[in-house]
Structure 1
Amino acid sequence: MSRFAGRTVLVTGAAGDIGQELAVMVAREGAEVAVFDRLPELLDETVARCREVNGGRGVLALGVDQTRREAVDEGVSAVAERFGRIDGLFANAGYGKFAPFLEQPQREWERHVAVNLTGTFNICQAVAQSMVAARAGGAIVVNTSSGARQHTDLLSAYCTTKAGLRMLATGMASELGSHRIRVNCVMPGVIETGMTAPMLQGPDGAAHRGFLLSDTPVGRLGEAGDVAALVAFLLSGDAAFITGASVPVDGGQTILGHPRWFRTDHRDAHGSEWLAGGWR
């Protein structure tokens, strides 16, 4: 299969499990690949894996902090100059940290906004501008979260910014349609990645995992490849008539309400104890 032959795909957050898996997947299917992360050395494994499967096609790795607009513009320009144009973008980079709303430090709130909302705006706008200038259309997929539509306790900043991204993508889909640029979202549930490993493998890992699995109809947690396969489809010509969609990839977790990492007993007036994975 070579759905991406002759096309260039840019992946942000490409040092992480999901971004890396998507980069390797599209490289295997014929794409020239540009990969961004905060520091270039974080991308060594991703680059090596892409080169193993891409038959000698180009791979460009750049350290780009998406909260810095100048760095984003320079990075996107470098990709367009190297490969001629950008055909697809997976806006994947993000940030999340647990905190009770009453104790949320302002600096952490601002970090969520800077990385998830403003940073993704920066990369999407810069790439869209490049696509419009090339007059060849394109596809953008934004990685939001099942938290974009379903609140999760102790993740208010994360869910709020991811919900904002979902609306941003909807607006982009509408405004960029006349330029033949499609924009969609993926909304992953709990995926086994380096980001979730501290919770799933830490001291409360068994409690978290057991309760999450009990609320996942397919009976397992997600894998990076589950998300990457959906993103690759949405970036490809197979999804040519799909835009403005927000597609869950969560094993059915949101059918029952997004699975909770922490719980409290709301019968306890003025209580503030949060327990991992349900009741002990």
Structure 2
Amino acid sequence: MSSQSYFKSVMYALVTGGTRGIGRAITEALLKEGYNVAVLYHGSEDKAKELREKGVLTVRCDVGDRNQVKKAKEEISNHFPRLDVLVNNAGIWYLMPFEQFDEEKYERMLRVNLNGTIYVTYEFLSLLKKSSAASIINIASNAGIGTAAEGTTFYAITKAGIIILTRRLAFELGKYGIRVNAVAPGWIETDMTLGNKSDEEKEKLREIFRNKTVLHTTGKPEDIANIVVFLASEKARYITGQVIVADGGRIDNLTHSV
């Protein structure tokens, strides 16, 4: 992919962690909306290849490494004249009870989840400013608002940071016409949450989380992607600084008053 002429529509989007799970669903949804999409990914080369075959510009990048983010920005700038949508989705998590604090794992979550969101937004801000109505959507978590899930304290800290960053950036970037919002998913069925479990184990997990929601259901990656598409669109032109919680109405968290 060597020239901007490859891209046919006039809207440009970047999704971090866009090859798998929620990020993949967001990438696919934006493609359907007619966006030219670039993706930053760290692993999943086979998934990146699949996206390249669909016309997605893929760039390998550890978002927790600012130098890599700078290089990715240079590469994407060769193809995209601006950014209309930035989705900061890349993230990792480790279950870690507070009394079993592992500094290395915590630092890794902090670098990828929070610092990565800062690095990508900062480095790509010049491209966002070139849009007439740019939208930044950060993927946080209901854990960042208040979760009862065991072992998620340090993960929740990184996601809470994303939420306050979202609100601060809404104040700071509004003068450029840039809207900044966040989506806070609950338990979503992805390879990260279901992993290499057997069908029986997967169904047990689904039942556990169905019973934790008012709607008695679990979330799909497409549920989050649909919200992102809305927040990126003209239909959300008057919305900024908001966090949309999409967790089915969890009854064991502090995200709802139900």
Shift, 1:5, TM fit: 5.0
- Aligned counterparts of 2:231 and 2:86: Cα–Cα separation in 1: 10
Shift, 1:206, TM fit: 5.2
Shift, 1:155, TM fit: 0.8
C-alpha root-mean-square deviation of aligned residues, in Å? 2.1
TM-score, length of structure 2 as denominator length: 0.88
Partner of 2:30: 26
CA-to-aligned-CA distance 1:81-136 (integer Å, 9 cap, x gap): 2021111011000010111111121101111111111111101111223322x263
Shift, 1:243, TM fit: 0.3
Q: Which stretches of structure 1, 4 residues or more, deviate above 6 A after TM superposition?
A: none
SS for the counterpart of 1:82 is coil
Greater shift in the superposed pair: 122-131 or 137-146: 122-131
- Aligned counterparts of 2:34 and 2:126: Cα–Cα separation in 1: 24
Partner of 1:108: 105
- Are 2:135 and 1:139 aligned? yes
Aligned-residue sequence identity (percent) comes to 31
CA-to-aligned-CA distance 1:45-72 (integer Å, 9 cap, x gap): 3333xx2xxxxxx521110110111211
- Aligned counterparts of 2:49 and 2:26: Cα–Cα separation in 1: 15
Give yes or no for contact 2:19–2:44 (8 Å, CA) kept in 1: no
Structure 1 pair 126/43, CA: closer, same or farther in 2 (3 Å)?
A: same
- Are 2:214 and 1:210 aligned? no
**Which of the residues 116, 119, 143 maps onto 1:119?**
116
Partner of 1:15: 19
- Opposite residue 104 of structure 1, the aligned amino acid is F
- Are 2:153 and 1:149 aligned? no
Give yes or no for contact 1:199–1:205 (8 Å, CA) kept in 2: no
- Opposite residue 220 of structure 1, the aligned amino acid is T
- Aligned counterparts of 1:103 and 1:202: Cα–Cα separation in 2: 30
TM-score, length of structure 1 as denominator length: 0.82
Give yes or no for contact 1:11–1:90 (8 Å, CA) kept in 2: yes
Partner of 2:52: 47
Partner of 2:5: none
Shift, 1:158, TM fit: 0.6
Structure 1 pair 46/218, CA: closer, same or farther in 2 (3 Å)?
A: farther
Shift, 1:12, TM fit: 0.5
- Opposite residue 86 of structure 1, the aligned amino acid is L
- Aligned counterparts of 1:60 and 1:221: Cα–Cα separation in 2: 31
CA-to-aligned-CA distance 1:160-219 (integer Å, 9 cap, x gap): 100011000111011000001000000000000011003875886555433321121222
Partner of 1:267: none
SS for the counterpart of 2:58 is strand
Partner of 1:99: 96
Larger Rg: 1 or 2?
1
Give yes or no for contact 1:86–1:138 (8 Å, CA) kept in 2: yes
SS for the counterpart of 1:116 is helix
Alignment of 1:171-190 (within 5 A): 171-190=168-187
- Opposite residue 210 of structure 2, the aligned amino acid is L
Alignment of 1:72-83 (within 5 A): 72-83=69-80
Give yes or no for contact 2:139–2:184 (8 Å, CA) kept in 1: yes
Give yes or no for contact 2:140–2:160 (8 Å, CA) kept in 1: yes
Partner of 2:4: none
- Are 2:232 and 1:235 aligned? yes
Q: State the number of aligned residues.
A: 245
Partner of 1:264: none
Unaligned runs of 5+ in 2: 1-7
Give yes or no for contact 1:199–1:208 (8 Å, CA) kept in 2: no
